[in-house]
Structure 1
Amino acid sequence: MHVGNGVAVVDMGGMDARLRGTNQVFAGDIDESMQSFQRVGASRYQPVREFLRILTRSSKGRKLLIYLVINLASTAILLAWCQVSNSMSLTALAYLTVFDLFYLLTSAVSIWSYSRCPSSVFSFGYERFEVLAVFTSTMLAQLGSFFIFKESVERIFEPHHIHEGKLPLGAALAILVHSLIIYSSENLPFQHVIQACSSSWLQEHMADVSESLCHVMPGLSRVLLPRSNPLTLLGCASTFCVIATYIAVDIKNYQGADVTAALCMAIFTIGTMWPMSSYTGRILLQTTPSHIIGQLDKLLREACTLDGVLEFRNEHFWTLGFGKMAGTVHVRVRRDANDQLVLAHVYSRLAPMISQLTIQIFKDDWSRSSAYHIINNTSVAPPPITPIKPFNAAAVQPLLPGSGYLPNLTAGTTNSLKAASHNLQPWTSTPYSTPLSTPMKGRSNPS
């Protein structure tokens, strides 16, 4: 049964009723070995062609392709200037434009995922590709920072001469392209992650500085007090480091400023990307967000009070994509309850928060389940059966007084009983006491 946009499943026999698609292969008249290599090569590039066709079909996609060309050209120019200037700080700034390339590709993946419909392979849709794209982009940026950090440490022991002529031009080009991509292109996945993840330490320090400035100049509160974009802060901080390197090398001829600036930029990049990586990583691990656990518990308690609902089992809720939740739950109902009515009520309670919901309903059949448990439980074994001897009523003689029957006693048995009775001593009820003649420690014997 399908209710709304979610999926509601009714299962009376304890089996999941969700239908998974199966790949059916139909044998054709032509053997597969007779296919040409050109057709095989065309099938390999078919997904890329379809991806480009989806991008060029929309105005947003065409605008995104223009930004991709601009970013590739600026990145190539910056990498060429890095070879000429031999500067690690400019190389780190060029890596920031490489991250902008992945930023644009993430936006392209978002456009592609929204144009696709759920299939038998991806029954929940393609929203998780956006999460994977953001996670990949941030992790690659941190990996590039580790390479910058390694090269900078090597240059501490093996200094290189820096040609500072290209540093201001590279800084201006990088911050211009970076700001154009961040503010001109619409990237819904990164915008959601920036708003939902925790603040980076660069944002926290910027917030402290902004509060101090707002105490002096209250008019700047509208501009400085809102949460700053971490990618914009990263671009500004990296550009400032490159400009400081140019000033130190050009005026003071201090070659070590380039290595110091590169190390600072690597630390800035890791500190900015880590909160976004951890947020998307938790989504990929299908964890339940901590801020909605209380709301889910409240909804489940309210749903348990519905007529016919006995309990919920195997409930699992996770984040499917950015701002979209999915979940599965098993509902045990009474045997006389209406399945469709209970299903509709439970779905109406959980659907406002869980967009993709799978509900499996089974009747309360405790007798069958208990018998099935006892049969399958091999640890419970019945006690061994002892053979019962046949009952002989003639061999039993009553010993009740006045019945007229006495047991048959032989002469040997009578003599042994008399001898045992002579050896018995009379029992006295004298309480036990310690003899006075027993010597005690610490006292002298009176005898």
Structure 2
Amino acid sequence: MSHNHIHKHEVKGKSLLFSIVLNVVITFAQVVGGIISGSLALISDALHNFSDVLSLVFSFVAHKLSKRKATLNHTFGYKRAELLAAFVNAATLIIVAFILIYGAIERLFFPREIASTLVIWLALLGIIVNGLSVLLLKRDADHNLNMKSAYLHLLTDMLASVAVLIGGLLMQFYGWFWVDSVMTILIAVYLIIVGFDLLLKSTKMLMLFTPDDIDINQIIKEVHKIKGVNKLHHIHLWHLNEEELHLEAHLDCSNDITMSEFNTLLHEVEVVLFKKFGINHINIQPEFKKEDPKDYIVQD
């Protein structure tokens, strides 16, 4: 198997660990404040923060596991751990969102007075804590799906706190206690939108789907331009994780060549696939007039 490595941003786990500590503090404060004030939006924000604590811990553990080396029993190591974390985090975002919507609708029919001053101060605390966490993870989120899932959890927390603050101010000055439920629903809808996008991306990778930005027909076209290639077939293309893009295929050669000659041909194929498509792990099975299906995609 060929290994052509692309230089990647080195993702650290320290920012994630610090964010976990911050979110534990804000979650505890919001739960107590929500119970005292009677604010469903504040409690729902705390529930969201608590789910974030769990997801951040999961992301942190997955990040550490992904760095472990491969063994005889784990030939790929734990490189897909972060994809699994991203999938679970996205799913929890959506589940929490529906729980919030249910509670908010129920509260619309049975409104209650809310201690808005406490809501305002705790919302401000949430904005500061989550805003700091978002800044810490922003750079890593641009390079890693697992970190992006953690980043999105924290970003939605910050936006939720902004919504709670607006609701608290409206309740304080106008007595509009129904705003608490409306803000909760808006927060939840946003969670569903961002969660679904992340869930879809991580699911595609876990299911070994062909990356959306790569056309297999173009791969075939480019490889078939190489002298000595008859037909590339039995093609499989998938992401092992975000850094490693794998391709395995059968390569039917035009001539009955030696192994050293095939090595030269293989190198040309590797260069084309890496430079034009970013495929950095390649496993090619050489053939010459072998009696087998020659379809591009074959169900093994």
Tell me the equivalent position of 2:281: 356
Match of 2:135 in 1: 183
> How far has the Cα of 1:167 moved from its partner?
0.2
Q: Give unpaired runs (5+ residues) of structure 1.
A: 7-59, 198-228, 371-447
Say yes or no: does 1:70 pair with 2:29: no
Letter in 2 for 1:247: L
Aligned to 1:171: 123
Please state which structure has a larger fraction of its residues in helix: 2
TM-score by length of 2: 0.79
**Aligned residue among 196, 201, 210 for 1:279:** 201
1:4/1:153 Cα in 2 relative to 1: closer, same or farther (>3 Å)? closer
Q: Distance in 2 between matches of 1:339 and 1:350?
A: 21
For residue 415 of structure 1, what is the aligned residue in structure 2?
Answer: none
**2:238 corresponding residue in structure 1:** 318
Take 1:300 and 1:231, find their aligned partners in 2: how far apart are those partners? 40
Q: How many angstroms does 1:231 deviate by?
A: 6.3
Matches within 5 A, 1:7-156: 61=13, 64-101=16-53, 102-103=55-56, 105-114=58-67, 116-156=68-108
Deviation, structure 1 residue 264: 1.3
Q: How much has 1:276 moved relative to structure 2?
A: 1.8
Distance in 2 between residues matched to 1:305 and 1:254, nearest whole Å: 69
Q: Give the match for residue 309 of structure 1.
A: 229
TM-score, with structure 1 as normaliser: 0.55
Q: Give me the identity figure in percent.
A: 20
Separation (CA, whole Å) in 1 of partners of 2:170 and 2:279: 56
Q: Which amino acid aligns with 1:362?
A: E
Looking at structure 1, the residues matched to 268 and 192 of structure 2 have their Cα atoms a distance apart, in angstroms, of: 47
Q: Which moved more, 1:146-155 or 1:62-71?
A: 62-71
2:160 corresponding residue in structure 1: 238
* Structure with more contact order per residue of length (Cα contacts < 8 Å, sep ≥ 6): 2
C-alpha contact 1:351 1:357 (8 A) present in aligned 2: no
Contact 1:64 1:108 in 2 (8 A): no
Task: Indicate the SS of the match to 1:259.
Answer: helix
2:266 is the counterpart of 1:346:
no
1:196-237 deviations in Å (ceiling 9; x for gaps): 99xxxxxxxxxxxxxxxxxxxxxxxxxxxxxxx966764454
Instruction: State the alpha-carbon separation in 1 of the partners of residues 260 and 43 from structure 2.
Output: 63
Q: Secondary structure at the match of 1:318?
A: strand
TM-superposed deviation, 1:113: 1.0
RMSD: 3.2
Q: CA 1:185/1:105 → structure 2, altered by over 3 Å: closer, same or farther?
A: farther
Matched position secondary structure for 2:279: coil
SS in structure 2 opposite 1:359?
A: strand
Determine the C-alpha separation between the residues in 1 that align with 2:22 and 2:155.
Answer: 22
- Structure 2 vs 1, CA of residues 290 and 317 (structure 1 numbering), >3 Å: closer, same or farther? same
Question: CA-to-partner distance for each residue in 1:28-85, whole Å, 9 max, x for gaps?
Answer: xxxxxxxxxxxxxxxxxxxxxxxxxxxxxxxx55564444233212212211212222
Confirm or deny: 8 A CA contact 1:124 1:356 kept in the other structure: no
- Other structure's SS at 2:213 match: helix
Amino acid of the residue matched to residue 284 of structure 1? L
Q: Could you say which structure has the larger radius of gyration?
A: 1
* Cα distance between partner residues in 1 of 2:130 and 2:284: 46
CA–CA separation in structure 2 for the residues paired with 1:190 and 1:97: 22
Contact 2:94 2:195 in 1 (8 A): yes
Q: Does 1:336 align with 2:256?
A: yes
Give unpaired runs (5+ residues) of structure 2: 6-11, 294-300
- Give the whole-Å Cα distance in 2 for the aligned partners of 1:170 and 1:63: 23
> How far apart, CA to CA, are the structure 1 residues paired with 2:169 and 2:197?
33
